Amino acid sequence: MVDSPKSKTVELICQEHQISPGTFYKWKESFGIQNNEDKKRLRGLEKANEQLKKMFVELELEKRVISDALEIRGASGL
């Protein structure tokens, strides 16, 4: 389920997705972020994910440079 604008009521959201309000609240409890500890954990995971993405890009660039260097070296007959 996608976050809805705050102007929508639970009833309207439930009608749009053809679910009961009870189901909505069960899903909200199961999948929603309930407390500050969950929010901190999520922020930590997001930060770690960004760091891993940066590392991946750096490693891909290194790989490309090494690959290009080996290709040039092979072409020159060294």
pLDDT, tens only, 45-78 = 999 999 999 999 999 999 999 999 999 888 776 6
Same domain, 42 and 11: no
Q: Quick one: average pLDDT of 4-32? A: 87
Q: Name the residue range of residue 2's domain.
A: 1-32
Q: Are residues 41 and 72 in the same domain?
A: yes
Side-chain-side CA neighbours of residue 13 (13 Å): 17
Do 22 and 41 fall within a single domain? no
The pTM for the full model equals 0.51
Nearest-10 Cα torsion for 68, 73, 77, 78: -160
Considering the chain, what is the average pLDDT of its residues?
88
The number of distinct structural domains making up the chain is 2
Nearest CA among 33, 14, 23, 13 for reference residue 4: 13
Residues 45 and 70 in one domain: yes
Residue 18 reports pLDDT greater than 90: yes
Average pLDDT over residues 27-45: 85
Residues 78 and 40 in one domain: yes
| Residues 78, 48 within the same domain | yes
Checking if the pLDDT of 12 tops 50, the result is yes
User: Both 39 and 77 in a single domain?
Assistant: yes
